[in-house]
């Protein structure tokens, strides 16, 4: 689901809403019959886990139910490490930079 966070970050839209994740799931339902078979409860739990993960990682700040993107400033050593390990997709996802 990094696509949701990354897209908002690239476009400079500072807020992520539940609707953004719902749209993500709708798009994935079209691509996969397995995801289309998930219940609304399953998708709700996954959305909640996703937001909790982003909040715990300090990539999202929640104030009065408003979810604001807080992109990190990566240490250059961490960035080089991730690139060396072939994990540049993580850098792109959390910074929004291509």
Would you call 34 helix, strand, or coil by DSSP?
A: helix
pLDDT at 89: 87
CA distances from 39 to 20, 34, 36, 43, 57 (A): 18, 11, 8, 7, 27
Q: Is the pLDDT of residue 97 over 80?
A: no
pLDDT one-digit tens code per residue, 54-96: 999 899 999 998 999 998 888 999 999 999 999 998 888 778 7
pTM of the full structure: 0.78
pLDDT band at residue 5 under the 50/70/90 scheme: confident
């Amino acid at each position: 689901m990094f696509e949701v966070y990354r897209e908002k970050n690239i476009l400079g839209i500072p807020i992520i809403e539940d609707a953004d994740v719902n749209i993500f799931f709708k798009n994935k339902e079209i691509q996969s019959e397995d995801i289309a078979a998930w219940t609304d409860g399953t998708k709700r739990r996954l959305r909640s886990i996703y937001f909790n993960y982003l909040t715990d990682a300090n990539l999202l700040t929640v104030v009065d139910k408003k979810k604001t993107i807080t992109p990190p400033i990566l240490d250059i050593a961490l960035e080089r490490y991730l690139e060396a390990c072939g994990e540049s997709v993580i850098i792109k996802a959390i910074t929004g930079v291509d």
